Structure 1
Amino acid sequence: MPSNGTYIRTDEVRAEILLDELNSAYERGWQPADVLHMAAHSGDPTDVPLAAASVLFDAHRTRAAHRAPTEWLHQVRTIGDRHPAIARITEPDRPFAASLFRVLPHVSRFQVDGLAYTWKYLPRFTHLTTPPSLWPQIRTAPDGTAHSAPDPRVLERIRGLLSKAESTEFPDEAEAFTAKAQELMTRYAVGAAVLDSAGSSTDPVRGRRLHLERPYAREKVLLLTAIGDANRVRTVWFTRVQIATIVGTVVDLEQVEMLFTSLLVQSTRAMNSAGTAGRRGGGATSFRRAFLTGFANRIGERLREVQAHATAEAAADARVPMTDLAPILARRSEAVDAEFRRLFPTTRSSGGRGVDSDGFHAGRDAAENALLAPGRSPLGH
C-alpha cells in the first residue's frame, strides 16, 4: 500500500477475487456452462476465454473430477474441449494469475475486474444440481444420472442420423434420417419406462439448461416447448439471461435436446429458403418470427401424433399392452410435473402475441416437410 493509503490490487489478488466470485455464483445456482453463456453476451469476445480459464482452473483446484456431479463434469469437459490451449495450462501447481496472463496476454486487468463484477451481481438461480460446497470429499456413489443415461451406442446412432439430416441438401434424405432418429429414441424411451416400472432401472427426473441465442430467441423457445410437450418434458424460459430450463427424465431430456438441435437447423433452413414474401425491414422480421412460430406450432401437433403411433409400436415390440403402458407413462408425467412445480413454483404461462398471418402459415407448411415417423408420408397426403 502506498504512503497515501491507496490500495493497489495485485494480479494475484485480482485473480483470486475472480475465482471467489465464480464460486459465489455457483453457490447461487449457476453452473459452468451458464457462466460461459453470460460471458459470451458481455460485449467483449475475449471474456469467453477468460471465463473458460477461470472455470477450468477452479475445477482443478476443487478436484471436481473426483467430487462433482456427472452433469457438472460434462460441462467442464466440454469447456476444456472447446478451449484446449487454455485447458493445458490451467493446472493447480501454478498460481492462477501466472497461468491466466501467460495464456491470455491480451486480457487487461480492468477486464478481469469487470468479469468478477458481472459474476458478483448474477441473481440467484434455481439449483439443478449440488453446488461445490456440498460435494463430498470423494464421490463414492453415482449421482443418479450416469447409470440412467441412455445407452451411448443408441445416442451415437441418433446423433449420426441427425447430423446427416442437418447436412444433406436433399429434403427427402433429411426426412428419412430424422424419422429414423425419432423412431430409435421413442422406442428406447418406452423401453426405459417399462424397465423403470418393473424396478429394473431408475430414470430420475432432472432439470437441464439450454442456452439460446438471438435472433428469434422467443420463437426458438416455442419450438423447444412444442418438442418438450410431446415428450413429457416441461419448459421454462428466462428472458433476461436467454436461458431455458427443461425438466424431465434423463432419457426424455436427451431426446428433446437432440430433436430441438436438429429441428432448429431445419426450421432455419426452411425460413431462409422461404424468403420474406417481398417484405423488408420490420415487415421482413415480423414475417420470419411468424414463420418460426407457425413451424413450431405444426411441429408440436405432428410430434404428438407421431409419438402416439411410435409408442404403440414400441409397446407391441415390448409385448406390453397399451392398457398397462398408459398408466406407466402417466406416472412419469406426474413425476415430471411435481418436480417442475418444486423447482419453479411461481412460473406463469407466456401470453401469445399477434403474428404475420402469411408467415405463420408458411411456417406450418414448411413443418409438413419435417417427416417424423418412418414409413409415413407427410400428414394430409
Structure 2
Amino acid sequence: MSDAILAKVRKLLAKAEDAACTPAESAAFTAKATELIARYGVDRALLAARDPATDPVGDRVVDVVAPYARDKVDLLASVADPLRCRCVRRRQGNGFAVHLFGFSSDLERVELLFTSLLVQAAHGLAGTPVPSGTHPGAYRRSWLAGFARVVGERLRAAEADAVAGATGPGAPSVALVLVDRSERVRQRLAEVYPELRTAAPRRLAGTGYSSGVAAGRRADLGGRPVAESSRRALPRR
C-alpha cells in the first residue's frame, strides 16, 4: 500500500478505535477507511494482472494469544476470507499461530483491519455488561462470534461494491482477475499444506450473540448495510 494511503487509513482507523468516539463517529471513520482499502485492493489486483511483480503471492504468520484466542482467530478468518486470503490455524502455547496466505496487498489489508477490529471489539465488550447469572466467558465468546459474523458480511459487501465501481466499458473483467487471484492463493496454500483438514464447527452456549451482532453492525465497515496487534487485550473470564 502506498505510504500516503497507508497513513490515511491508519489515521482513520486510529480515530475509529478511540474509546472517546461515539458509535456514529467510529462508524464514519471505519467506513471511510474500509472504502479506501477496498478500492485499493481492486486497483492493486488490476495492476498485478498487467505486471505480476507488483503484487506477488505470499504468506505471513500472525500470533494470536489469550484471552479468547480461538475467538480472535475466528475474527481474523472473518476478515481474511472476504479479502481473498486463506488462513491455517496452528496451536501455539495458550494461543495460535495463524498462517495467512494471499497476495501482498491483500495480506496488508487483512492485518490493518484485524488490528483495528480487535481494538473495537475490546471497547465493545468493555461497554457490554454480562447479564446476571450468565457465565462471563461463554457470554463473551458468543458476543465475539456475532461480531465476527457481521464484520465478515459487511466486508464482503464493501468488496462487492468496490468491484462494481471498477467495472466499466472496455475495462478488464475485475471478477475474472479476482477469481484467478483466489485460485493462485488456494494453490499456494495446498503446496504448503497438502493434507489440510477442516476444523469441526464450534458450538457456543453463551447468550451474547445478538449483542455481538449489533456491535458488528455499529462497526459499519462501509458498503451495503447488513450489518495495536493480535495481542490486544480483551476482557478476561
* CA deviation map 1:32-71 (0-9, x unaligned): xxxxxxxxxxxxxxxxxxxxxxxxxxxxxxxxxxxxxxxx
Q: Is the 8 A contact 1:203 1:251 kept in 2?
A: yes
1:264 aligns with one of 118, 122, 125: 118
The answer for unaligned runs of 5 or more in structure 2 is 228-237
**Residue 128 of structure 2 aligns with which residue?**
274
The answer for unaligned runs of 5 or more in structure 1 is 1-149
Measured in 2, the distance between the counterparts of 1:255 and 1:315 equals 21
**Residue 26 of structure 1 aligns with which residue?**
none
Are 1:355 and 2:209 matched, yes or no? no
What is the CA-CA distance between 1:225 and the residue it aligns to? 0.2
Are 1:373 and 2:225 matched, yes or no? no
TM-score by length of 2: 0.88
* CA deviation map 1:164-199 (0-9, x unaligned): 111142111111111111111111111111111123
**Residue 97 of structure 1 aligns with which residue?**
none
Q: Is the 8 A contact 1:164 1:174 kept in 2?
A: yes
- Number of matched pairs: 224
Measured in 1, the distance between the counterparts of 2:122 and 2:198 equals 26
**Residue 173 of structure 2 aligns with which residue?**
324
Measured in 2, the distance between the counterparts of 1:290 and 1:298 equals 13
Amino acid at match of 1:155: L
Measured in 2, the distance between the counterparts of 1:176 and 1:328 equals 30
Which 4+ residue blocks in structure 1 deviate beyond 4 angstroms? none
Measured in 1, the distance between the counterparts of 2:170 and 2:152 equals 26
Higher normalized contact order (CA 8 Å, seq sep 6+, divided by chain length)? 2
Larger of the two Rg values belongs to structure: 1
1:162-311, aligned counterparts within 5 Å?
162-167=13-18, 168-199=20-51, 201-241=53-93, 242-279=96-133, 283-311=135-163
- SS of 2:122 mapped into structure 1: helix
TM-score by length of 1: 0.56
**Considering only aligned residues, what root-mean-square deviation do their CA atoms show, in Å?**
1.9
Q: Is the 8 A contact 1:208 1:246 kept in 2?
A: yes
**Residue 53 of structure 1 aligns with which residue?**
none
Amino acid at match of 2:195: T
Q: Is the 8 A contact 1:182 1:372 kept in 2?
A: yes
Identical aligned pairs, as a percentage? 38
Are 1:341 and 2:195 matched, yes or no? no
1:54-133, aligned counterparts within 5 Å?
none
- Greater helix content: 1
**Residue 10 of structure 2 aligns with which residue?**
159
- Greater strand content: 2
